[in-house]
Chains A and B, each alone.
Chain A
Amino acid sequence: LAKTTQPISMDSYEGQEVNITCSHNNIATNDYITWYQQFPSQGPRFIIQGYKTKVTNEVASLFIPADRKSSTLSLPRVSLSDTAVYYCLVGSIYNQGGKLIFGQGTELSVKP
């Protein structure tokens, strides 16, 4: 499972777009990139997942360049309620049982 590196913390203001970049230099051909969000006193929650180029859902967008050695989670117009820890994970599509290895995550603080 590829190791990921992401900033420990980020600050933003309400209404801004936030981009959190994750490095995964050793990503393998069969690996997907997945992002989870965790609020205090709650379990992690799946946000978005992708393999290449761009993926968008109702919550976020995920940008993956052609070399796939990094990815960027984009949160449009954040609000105070987006304050949370965001985890970037990489795992193989052939990984039996979908094993995940969490890093330290990025603690996003959104200010008014």
Chain B
Amino acid sequence: EAGVAQSPRYKIIEKRQSVAFWCNPISGHATLYWYQQILGQGPKLLIQFQNNGVVDDSQLPKDRFSAERLKGVDSTLKIQPAKLEDSAVYLCASRPLGGEINQPQHFGDGTRLSIL
């Protein structure tokens, strides 16, 4: 099966600019996650969707970050305006709903964002 697709792979912007990332999860996966991974650290969950509804966005900096999953499939994550500390890899993951207990999450390869 096709994996989680993310684009772009790399993005370089200046601080205070805007940027958007796109994720296409594995077909049929109802749950979608966005993570931020700063160099040398483990991924940190930003937001979790179930279908097109938000389940958990407690760690999303809502003054500058937004995310949507309008049709319950693809998702976009936006940063506006970007700060230097937003330099990181942004990972998208998906997981099926129901079925076997503790289904693992499937990750894309992320978008590496550099802020100048």
Contact = CB atoms under 8 A, between A and B. Distances in A.
Is this pair of chains taken from one and the same complex? yes
Interface stretch (A11-19, A39-47, A60-68, A69-77): A39-47
B55 A43 contact: no
Interface of A: 32, 34, 36, 41-46, 49, 87, 91, 93, 96-105
Which range holds the interface residue count of chain B? 20 to 34
A42 B3 CA distance: 12
**Contact residues of A: prevailing secondary structure:** loop
Interface stretch (B41-49, B61-69, B72-80): B41-49
B107 A43 contact: yes
Contacts of B101: 32, 93
A49 B42 contact: no
B99 to A, nearest CB: 11
A98 B42 contact: no
Given A97-B95, A99-B48, A91 B55 contact: no
Contacts of A41: 109-110, 112
Task: Name the residue in B45, B107, B112 with the highest tally of chain A Cβ atoms < 10 Å from its Cβ.
Answer: B107
Contacts of B31: 97-98
B87 interface: no
A104 B38 CA distance: 11
Given A49-B102, A91-B102, A97-B56, A43 B91 contact: yes
A43 B56 contact: no
B16 to A, nearest CB: 27
B25 interface: no
